[in-house]
Amino acid sequence: MTVSTKRATPQRIPTEALLDTIIDSIQDVKGKRIVKLDLREVDDASVDYFIICEGDSTTQVKGISDRIYSRVKQELSIMPSHNEGKEYARWVLLDYFDVVVHVFYPETRTFYDLEDLWSDAITTEYQNL
């Protein structure tokens, strides 16, 4: 039996709906320090947006990434082209082509400091719920 799943392609991603669903999913499970980096005007950026957030524990990091995955799949019928990091849950990445989600453990986020690395991006911060 073959199971068919829709794979996201750049032409089919409803970007605003995807961004809204991702942000709402993070807030659903009390993700913290949520930031959207708009990279569309940044030279050498391979994606349009980064969504960055963190959880207080590796369990929460995994929970946040699971919630994003589930809601985006269920509500938008989009699967990430790639995901990694769930095994140790220090940095989970979900790649939706033009939108890449980074769910961090706090110390890992500080170490990699993506916000500083991509400081030319337009930054939008979202409140913790």
Question: For residue range 5-62, what is the model confidence (pLDDT) as tens digits?
Answer: 444 444 455 899 999 999 999 999 999 999 999 999 999 999 999 999 999 999 999 9
Degrees, nearest 5: CA angle 88-100-33 = 70
Q: Is residue 7 part of a domain?
A: no
| CA–CA distances in Å: residue 80 to residues 3, 52, 123 | 16, 16, 23
Q: What domain count does the chain have?
A: 1
What mean pLDDT is reported for the chain?
91
Which CATH number fits the domain that encloses residue 88? 3.30.460.10
Q: Is residue 64 part of a domain?
A: yes
Q: Is residue 89 part of a domain?
A: yes
Q: Which amino acid is at 44?
A: D
The pTM of the full predicted model, rounded to 2 decimals, is 0.88
Q: Is residue 70 part of a domain?
A: yes
Question: Which of these, 77, 63, 82, lies nearest to 18 by C-alpha position?
Answer: 77
Q: Is residue 2 part of a domain?
A: no
Look at residue 105 in the predicted model and tell me its pLDDT: 97
Q: Is residue 105 part of a domain?
A: yes
Query: What is the separation, in whole angstroms, between the first and last Cα of the chain?
Result: 42
Q: Is residue 92 part of a domain?
A: yes
Asked whether residue 3 carries a pLDDT value surpassing 90, the answer given is no
Domain that holds residue 55: 15-120
Q: Is residue 53 part of a domain?
A: yes
